[in-house]
Amino acid sequence: MTTETVVRLDGVRKEYGETAALDGVSLRIRRGEAVAVMGPSGCGKSTLLNMVAGLDRPTSGEVTVHGERLDLMSETRLALFRRHHLGMIFQFFNLLDDLSALDNVALAAQLTGSPAGTARRRALELFDELGIADRRDLYPAALSGGERQRVAVARALMNRPALLLADEPTGALDSRAGEQVMDLLIDLNQIGQTLLIVTHDERLAHRCASRLVEFADGRIAAESTLDRV
Amino acid sequence: MRAVWAAARAAVRRRRLQTFVIGLVAFLCTATVVVSLALLDATSTPFDRVFAAQRGAHAVAAFDRALVSDAQLTGAREGVAASAGPFAQATVSLESDDPGPWLRGPLRVVGRAAPDGDVDRLDVWQGRWATGPGEVVLNAVPADGERFAQGPLSAVSEVTVGGTTLRVVGWAWSVSASADAWATPAQVAQLDPAGTQMLYRFSGDVSSREAVRQRLSGVTTGLPGRSLLAAQPYQVMKDEAAETAGVYLPFLGPFGVLGLLVAVLIVGNVVSGAVVSGFRHIGVLKSLGFTPRQVVAVYLTMVSVPAVTGAVLGTALGVAGAYPLLSDTFRDLGYGQTGVPTWVWVAGLLGVPGLVLLTALVPARRAGRLSAAEAISAGSAPRRGRGLRVQRALSGTRLPRSVSLGLGLPFARPARTALTMASLLLGVITVTFATGLSGSLLRVAALGTEAGGDIGIRPGNPDFNETMSTRTHQEVEALLRGLPGTERIGISVTRSYAMVGQSSPVQVDFVRGDVAAMGHERQLIAGRWMSAPGEVVAPTEMANERGLKVGDTLTLEVAGDRMTVTLVGVTMMGLPGSGDDALFAPWREVPGATPDDYYYQVEVAEGTDLAGYMGAVRAADPGLSPWDNSGGDDVTPVVTTFATVLALLLATVAALGVLNTVALDVLDRRRDLGMLKSIGMTPRQVITMLVTSMAALGVVGGLLGIPFGLAAHRLVIPMAADSAKITLPDSVMAVWNPVTLALMVLCGVLIAVLGALLPARSAARLTIARVLHNE
């Protein structure tokens, strides 16, 4: 792990009408760290993820990821930034039903302008690495939950992101599939992938994260270093 | 019921965009339907409509005053539902100051105290009714203020009949053609009336001439023999009307049919889409305890609110738009004085909302039968992908991914795509047909205008108190050729001949100068232009009516002057001064022709001021009467205006169908769009993807629609020409070239892109966080 800061939030505040979802949050995530954010529903952890992913803008404060101020970027620049520097996985996978597993993954590279052949070759490498090569031609409806999430992880890794964001990555999976995804995240972190995981699942946080950030009422209530289980 | 209303009201408020789209579609479709139906009604039954409005006479009967008294006539009422009369009727000859070619020969003057009554309620469209001695009202088809002021009627201030000069105080129109002129009963009594007019509306069958004759025999039973001088059944006027108004039906009828089809398709697409996209909401309602019937009621109420609002506003717009168009169009034929018929109002107010409800009923009932869980999951559960092979093939292409994804989208929802495609197809057909129609009509008008020359000139007629030119026709030609701006001159003199083997006489225009070069030769439909004495060319209307064809030999005879000629060509129209019932023949001197028998048409150099040229003609010889001959025909502006308005309206409705489809796609694919944006799809790529999905349909719609539009054009123009009893030159149909055809394909794309752009832009602005976390 290096000391390079990948994510820096300074005094970030996000208001929805009268309600402040984030209230002056400041946070640093260094390259190679795996940070888990936990807290009760409505505490602001998903809003935090949205800020870091550039999916939403802060009402005030600064959001810097990979050295770039996301809060100052246009929608188009944000999209390009996400494309090249961020990978995201979601609780409900968010795969396109009309595309095969392989095409879902290749899509992320094709959006950057990669030719279809190059994108598919890179996708196949990831399928091999993630152990789902035999599922590449199936469509999402034919995959199990765990397989879908692996495909989603492959898609997130397609453009070699500086930061992998995971929003309740095991929330829609049974325990066995959840375990597999956890193992995958650990493996990724061990080879240097920076992770930010938002979860309710203490087990996930304690297995995958090296640092835990606890949220309450839009603020960081506690931070602690974890010894992975 | 309260719960249903509350849920429906909430749904309307929550789905503002969808409610707005349904309302807008209902509004435009209703307006289209009302204009289309009014158009179909006007073109198919113009006579019946005005006949009913005027309470026209089933029979106009003239009795011999010497044989039958007024009391006898009013007493004879067997089978009569209503009658008007007895009115004194005098048949008089117009004296020397004949007001013009539109009013010639014997004049039937009827004495009526008022224009209204139980039968033959006259439309006094200019001036007032005759109320005093020396006043007369003439019968003519209505013309609006400007046309009246510019036309020949406005110059007619008096007529002289039987030594009595009558002042023209008004103009009226009788669809029953009950008289040529009306005056007060006292005035007509002074004209020595020989007849008594009775106007009858009969009860019972009047569907045929024979049936009317039988009804009339019921009236004449008991009257002295031979007291009935003449009786005109209304079918005579109806047949005449069919010939004139019928020209419009092939032009405008297809727009009515296309309008109805587009309206049905779009409403079906929009409403079924609205219900299908609300399945999740339906599931929630059911989980709250709503019965299937209540669920159906909620959805029907939800779509009824914007549908009824749109229909009311659309009917108002349709009527407001149709009334002046139809009124202007058919008023010139005498059939425009009534408004949009009631049944069209009713169809507009009830038809589209009814159609909306029927369309909504099918998916709403399906939704009502779903279990709550099924309904809820219908909007969010993973779908079995559709169009998979297409997507797979597209993902391997070299196209930008946003484009290839867009091309695959239509395959995911084939039924919705088919409906959208159908509306695009009809939009393209309409625009293609309208373009072809307008192009052909403009070519016909251009040919007519070109052949008519810019300026028509006749020497003054001393009978009309006009100054008579003292110049010979050669001198007039020389004078005109010497005027600045003169480019071409055609000279004609007309003579009437009996044609051997034909009952009616024929006019022959002997022409010289530049007549052929002024456009008539270019109008040739068959054969060639005449090149030697003994050859003639006939206008197509004359050739069709008289059964003449190229190569026929005709024998013409007048006052011992007998000539045998060969028909060598058929042209689209005749000389403007003679109409379409005169043969062209090479020049020859006509003995006894007076100066005003000669007609000169002048084509001036481009940029010449016509008014200035006419002033120069008058200044050069006050005995010459020039007029501006550069105006087009009446049909072209009317039909091109209708075509443009309806094509724009239908293209807009088709674009709304696309808008609705894309809006529904965005709603269905919110999660996918959010995901795509989360992995780096830019707003521009989102717009590109969604617009491409519809532009592809636009291309296909354009390619498929163009042949149908061309076929409609190829079918309709000759049909309209047949109605007008003319044949058109091939050049009139040749309005298409690769550029215009490419433009038609682009038109399909344009409709699709314009419809898709708005929802695509809103999709590009979707907040990803809200979409992805709102599972």
B385 contacts in chain A (CB < 8 Å): 96-99, 139-141
Burial class (CB in 10 A: 0-12, 13-18, 19+), B627: exposed
Q: Count Cβ atoms below 10 Å from residue B604 Cβ, excluding itself.
A: 21
Comparing alpha-carbon positions, the chain A residue that sits nearest to B683 is A76
The alpha-carbon gap from A206 to the nearest alpha carbon of chain B, in Å, equals 24
Average pLDDT estimate for A73-82: 90
**B587-632 per-position pLDDT tens digit:** 988 877 777 788 888 888 888 888 889 889 888 888 888 877 776 6
**Residue B676: DSSP 8-state:** H
Q: Do B678 and A155 touch (CB under 8 A)?
A: no
B158: left (phi over 0), alpha (psi -120 to 50) or beta: beta
Q: Do A108 and B679 touch (CB under 8 A)?
A: yes
Q: Give bridge partners of residue A167 from the DSSP assignment.
A: A198
A82 contacts in chain B (CB < 8 Å): 677-680
Q: Count Cβ atoms below 10 Å from residue B204 Cβ, excluding itself.
A: 11
Give me the pLDDT at residue B247, please.
58
Give me the pLDDT at residue B98, please.
46
**Residue B766 is encoded by which pair of tokens?**
């979707």
**Mean pLDDT of chain B, nearest integer:** 80
Higher pLDDT residue, A54 or B497? A54
Higher pLDDT residue, B233 or A21? A21
Answer whether A15's CB lies under 8 Å from A59's CB. Answer: yes
**B663-676 per-position pLDDT tens digit:** 888 888 888 898 89
**B381-432 per-position pLDDT tens digit:** 445 556 778 888 888 888 899 999 999 988 888 888 888 888 888 889 988 9
Decide the pairing of beta strands A5-16 and A163-167. unpaired
Give me the pLDDT at residue B710, please.
92
How confident is residue B368, by pLDDT bands cut at 50, 70 and 90? Answer: confident
Give me the pLDDT at residue B253, please.
67
Answer whether A144's CB lies under 8 Å from A176's CB. Answer: no
CA angle (B264 as vertex; B263, B270 as ends), nearest 5: 85
CA angle (B221 as vertex; B215, B222 as ends), nearest 5: 160
* Among B673, B679, B682, B775, the residue to mutate for chain A (most A Cβ within 10 A): B679
Higher pLDDT residue, B759 or B267? B759
Distance CA B661, CA B530 (A): 61
Touching check for B394 and chain A: CB below 8 Å?
no
Give me the pLDDT at residue A51, please.
92
Residue position matching structure tokens 């939009």? B427
Domain boundaries, chain A: 5-225
Distance CA B517, CA B679 (A): 71
Distance CA A177, CA A91 (A): 13
- The CA distances from residue B517 to B70, B323, B542, in Å, are 62, 42, 22
The alpha-carbon gap from B26 to the nearest alpha carbon of chain A, in Å, equals 33
How confident is residue B103, by pLDDT bands cut at 50, 70 and 90? Answer: low
Answer whether B533's CB lies under 8 Å from B486's CB. Answer: no
SS (H, E, C) B462-499: HHHCCCCCCCCHHHHHHHHHHCCCEEEEEEEEEEEEEE
Scan residues 33-62 of A and list those with Cβ closer than 8 Å to B.
46-47, 50, 53, 55-56
The alpha-carbon gap from B666 to the nearest alpha carbon of chain A, in Å, equals 14
Touching check for B766 and chain A: CB below 8 Å?
no
Q: Give bridge partners of residue B601 from the DSSP assignment.
A: B456, B490
Torsion angle in degrees (nearest 10) through CA of B418, B421, B422, B423: 130
Q: Summarize chain B as % helix, strand, coil (round to 5).
A: 55, 20, 25
At B201 the three-state DSSP class reads strand
Scan residues 152-181 of A and list those with Cβ closer than 8 Å to B.
155-156, 159, 167
In whole angstroms, what separates CA B372 from the centre of its chain? 53
pLDDT over 80 (residue A92): yes
Answer whether B699's CB lies under 8 Å from B413's CB. Answer: no
Give me the pLDDT at residue A64, please.
95
Higher pLDDT residue, B267 or B464? B267
**Residue B454 is encoded by which pair of tokens?**
């810019």
**A120-154 per-position pLDDT tens digit:** 999 999 898 888 899 999 988 889 888 998 899 89
- The CA distances from residue B254 to B86, B706, B726, in Å, are 45, 15, 21
pLDDT over 70 (residue B486): yes
Q: Do A141 and B385 touch (CB under 8 A)?
A: yes
Of A79, A92, A120, the CB nearest to B681: A79
Touching check for A19 and chain B: CB below 8 Å?
no
Q: Count Cβ atoms below 10 Å from residue B582 Cβ, excluding itself.
A: 21
B665 contacts in chain A (CB < 8 Å): none
Of A90, A95, A116, the CB nearest to B395: A116
Decide the pairing of beta strands B80-93 and A60-65. unpaired
Average pLDDT estimate for B110-135: 87
**B9-20 per-position pLDDT tens digit:** 877 777 777 788
Q: Do B767 and A90 touch (CB under 8 A)?
A: no
pLDDT over 50 (residue B237): yes
Write down the ipTM of this complex. 0.85
Residues 6+ apart with CB under 8 A from B619: none
B680 contacts in chain A (CB < 8 Å): 79-80, 82-84, 108, 111-112, 159
**B307-351 per-position pLDDT tens digit:** 899 899 989 988 887 777 666 666 655 665 456 778 888 888 888
Touching check for B72 and chain A: CB below 8 Å?
no
| Of residues B46, B422, B405, B98, the one with CA closest to residue A98 | B405
* Among A52, A81, A88, A98, the residue to mutate for chain B (most B Cβ within 10 A): A98
pLDDT over 90 (residue A164): yes
Whole-number percent of chain B with pLDDT over 70: 85
Give me the pLDDT at residue B698, please.
92
Comparing alpha-carbon positions, the chain A residue that sits nearest to B685 is A111
Give me the pLDDT at residue B690, please.
94
Average pLDDT estimate for A50-76: 92
How confident is residue B775, by pLDDT bands cut at 50, 70 and 90? Answer: very low
B392 contacts in chain A (CB < 8 Å): 99-100, 103
Of A75, A116, A141, the CB nearest to B397: A116
pLDDT over 90 (residue B770): no
Q: Do A55 and B386 touch (CB under 8 A)?
A: no
- The radius of gyration computed from the CA coordinates of chain A, to the nearest angstrom, equals 17
Higher pLDDT residue, B246 or B35? B35
**Residue A132 is encoded by which pair of tokens?**
């789902």
Answer whether B576's CB lies under 8 Å from B632's CB. Answer: no
Average pLDDT estimate for B553-575: 82
Q: Do B680 and A84 touch (CB under 8 A)?
A: yes
How confident is residue B97, by pLDDT bands cut at 50, 70 and 90? Answer: very low
Written as one letter, the residue type at B432 is: T
Domain A5-225 has CATH 3.40.50.300: yes
pLDDT over 80 (residue B36): no
Give me the pLDDT at residue B218, please.
80
Higher pLDDT residue, B133 or B333? B133
Q: Do A99 and B769 touch (CB under 8 A)?
A: no
Distance CA B82, CA B59 (A): 11
pLDDT over 90 (residue B695): yes
Peptide bond into A161 cis (omega under 30): no
B679 contacts in chain A (CB < 8 Å): 82-83, 87-88, 107-108, 111, 155-156
Average pLDDT estimate for A6-17: 93
Average pLDDT estimate for B288-296: 78
Give me the pLDDT at residue B754, please.
92
Q: Count Cβ atoms below 10 Å from residue B505 Cβ, excluding itself.
A: 14
Touching check for B594 and chain A: CB below 8 Å?
no
How confident is residue B100, by pLDDT bands cut at 50, 70 and 90? Answer: very low
At A200 the three-state DSSP class reads coil
pLDDT over 70 (residue B504): no
Higher pLDDT residue, B719 or A33? A33
Of B675, B680, B772, the CB nearest to A79: B680
Average pLDDT estimate for B498-519: 79
Comparing alpha-carbon positions, the chain A residue that sits nearest to B400 is A113
Q: Do B681 and A90 touch (CB under 8 A)?
A: no
Residue position matching structure tokens 């003639």? B536
A56 contacts in chain B (CB < 8 Å): 767-769
Backbone angles phi, psi at B87, to 5 degrees: -120, 135
The alpha-carbon gap from A139 to the nearest alpha carbon of chain B, in Å, equals 8
| Of residues B614, B5, B29, B504, the one with CA closest to residue B269 | B29
Comparing alpha-carbon positions, the chain A residue that sits nearest to B669 is A96
pLDDT over 50 (residue B258): yes
**Residue B229 is encoded by which pair of tokens?**
């001088």
Q: Do A167 and B773 touch (CB under 8 A)?
A: yes
Touching check for A224 and chain B: CB below 8 Å?
no
The alpha-carbon gap from B680 to the nearest alpha carbon of chain A, in Å, equals 4
* Among A97, A112, A165, the residue to mutate for chain B (most B Cβ within 10 A): A97
- The CA distances from residue B102 to B98, B110, B152, B158, B735, in Å, are 10, 19, 9, 15, 35
Torsion over CA: B498, B510, B613, B442 (sign): positive
Touching check for B163 and chain A: CB below 8 Å?
no
Distance CA A60, CA B739 (A): 56
The alpha-carbon gap from A51 to the nearest alpha carbon of chain B, in Å, equals 9
Touching check for A73 and chain B: CB below 8 Å?
no
Q: Do B395 and A159 touch (CB under 8 A)?
A: no
The alpha-carbon gap from B259 to the nearest alpha carbon of chain A, in Å, equals 36
How confident is residue B96, by pLDDT bands cut at 50, 70 and 90? Answer: very low
The alpha-carbon gap from A9 to the nearest alpha carbon of chain B, in Å, equals 18
Name the helix (H) or strand (E) containing B590. Answer: none
Q: Do B384 and A97 touch (CB under 8 A)?
A: yes
Distance CA B694, CA B208 (A): 54
Of B395, B674, B685, the CB nearest to A99: B395
Give me the pLDDT at residue B233, please.
78
- Helical packing angle, B414-452 and B738-764, nearest 10°: 140
A76 contacts in chain B (CB < 8 Å): 682-684
Whole-number percent of chain B with pLDDT over 90: 10
HSE (side-chain half, CA atoms, 13 Å) at B224: 12
Distance CA B708, CA B57 (A): 44
Distance CA B427, CA B751 (A): 8
**Residue B324 is encoded by which pair of tokens?**
């002046």
**B171-196 per-position pLDDT tens digit:** 888 888 888 889 999 988 888 888 88
B672 contacts in chain A (CB < 8 Å): 94, 96
- The CA distances from residue B395 to A32, A100, A120, B659, in Å, are 34, 10, 10, 26
Higher pLDDT residue, B725 or B553? B553
How confident is residue B152, by pLDDT bands cut at 50, 70 and 90? Answer: low
